[in-house]
Amino acid sequence: MLDIASYPSPNWNERPAGAVIDTVVLHYTGMRSGRDALTRLCDATAEVSAHYLLEEDGRVFRLVDERKRAWHAGVSHWRGRDNLNHTSIGIELVNPGHEFGYRPFPKAQITSLLSLLEGIAQRHHIQQNGFVGHSDIAPSRKQDPGELFPWAQLAEKGFGIWSGRDGTSTSVIVRRGQKNDNVVKFNEQLSMIGYHIDDIQHFDIATEYAVRAFQAHWRPTAVTGLIDIGTARILEDIANQRG
């Protein structure tokens, strides 16, 4: 059984009436140490929190009761809904992030995460496609948990979806600034998955951010913001699974 330490944060409020928890949002802390992150997440003046924090050695801290609304998602959008704080559970994984020395997530940390996700999924009946990254729901602002996060390993356990398509080709099909039928198709597929695309006719900066987030999640070997053949193959597969 997973040992969870209680470390209450004051940074929460009630979920809106009728809100149904159907999403888990995964983050990295992006700070120099787990202690720094824990302090910030429990600092009332910071006005930020999560339901759980997982240390690199596998220790788990409960900061906010799952029934309450933790402040982890910020300005966010996914599958036609804004403010994912209302309907999600936020989990912070200790990792310095891209600013302070991004590194792989240790086995002990992921083992604890899988155990934690099993309980959350059972309690709230989270569907397999209900597990996303912070960068998925806020691609213009965030890049966590990043390309080193083991999404495929989670999907094997039923916490997320994955594609077995060959994504190795980096031959570019479209890039920012273009407007053509391929751009429309790819924007529509990104929207089907859940990304917020205002203008499906153009490959603009919003599309580029969404493509980067998609690649970090489902094709992490080349996070370029360009849609290449490998990305297109996986994008189509994931869109079909989510659509």
Question: Which residues are known to be catalytic?
Answer: 92
Q: Are 102 and 220 in contact (CB under 8 A)?
A: no
* Whole-number Å distance between alpha carbons of 186 and 201: 10
- Radius of gyration (Cα) for the chain, nearest Å? 18
Distance separating alpha carbons of residues 80 and 137, to the nearest angstrom: 11
Q: Where are the beta strands (DSSP E) in the chain?
A: 4-6, 12-13, 23-28, 52-54, 60-62, 69-70, 77-78, 81-82, 88-93, 131-133, 172-174, 227-228
